[in-house]
Structure 1
Amino acid sequence: MKRRWLYFLPVLFLGISCEEKKLQHNQKIDLFADERKEGKAYIMKPEECLYESDMVVSSPNIKLIDQSSGRGKSIYIYRVNAGKVLKTTRDSVVSFPFQFLSNQRLMFHPDSTSYVYLKKLDGYRFIARQMNLKYQWLKSAPVYSVKSEQ
């Protein structure tokens, strides 16, 4: 009689453990809740943009000249026809007009002068050769307008 109880004991424990597992599956556990910030993009301050950029130009004349969308990443190519170079780490002489690439559409105001924060072009080898591109827009940098001093 005592041996029969020993055979039923594991079956009893198995039934209890199955009920506990069913309760655990109903609860969602988010291990990365502190790290996930959906819908919040980091926007750089003007001082950070100036420090991180390879070239900074202020220009009132910036135009979108080409864009591609569809397959892959969207690419926008802008032309700066004239402007004032505020910082450069690569080129000692910058000739205007020049073009740069951006992965996002930039909203430059037509009536105001804007800062252009640029980094050395990374990748896009074929487009760079065809369009004579050396720079790309600094990621996370917004469009800042130049404030007129009065």
Structure 2
Amino acid sequence: MVFLLSCEKKYQRPDEYKVDLFKDERSENNAYVMSEDEAYDKSDMVLSTSDTKLIDSSSGRGKPFFIYKIFSGDIEKTTRDSVVSFPLEIISTEKLNLKKEPSYIFLEMLKGFRFIAEERKIKYQWVPGAPVYPLQKETK
């Protein structure tokens, strides 16, 4: 005589684990945003302007980048060029939320984009991670 016994054990998954091994590695799409002072310190050039326009982008053509033209502005800080001739074209790897109100433009020397830079004579790019800060009005 052969007895066949089967033990059925269902997998029981706990609803909540007592120890979360990956709590430090889990992120909720939190992007790092620089403060205004940090962006100012990292910049090679800072301009204040309200006359900036998106003139071209690479949407759908590989790594995204955006070309902006600054028509006029004031130099707030510079480490390289003492004279800037306007209009000035810059490249950004992120789309900037520019409004008609005066804002700070944080720029660094162009890294990469060699062929575009030679063709359009672009020397500066937007500092990655720097947000668009509105120009602070001085009260006297």
* Partner deviation per Cα, 1:61-82 (whole Å, 9 max, x = no partner): 0001111111321110001111
1:100 Cα deviation from its structure 2 partner:
0.3
Which amino acid in 1 is paired with 2:62? G
Note the 1:1-150 alignment, pairs <5 A.
33-110=23-100, 112-150=101-139
- Percent identity, aligned pairs only? 49
What TM-score does the superposition give when structure 1 sets the normalisation length?
A: 0.75
User: 1 CA distance for matches of 2:115 and 2:82?
Assistant: 25
Which amino acid in 1 is paired with 2:59? S
Which amino acid in 2 is paired with 1:54? D
| Bigger-Rg structure (1/2) | 1
User: More helix per residue: 1 or 2?
Assistant: 1
Secondary structure at the aligned position of 1:51 is classed as helix
Which amino acid in 2 is paired with 1:64? L
What TM-score does the superposition give when structure 2 sets the normalisation length?
A: 0.80
RMSD over aligned CA atoms reads 2.0
> Any stretches of 5+ residues in structure 1 without a counterpart?
1-27
Change (3 A) 1:118 1:32: farther
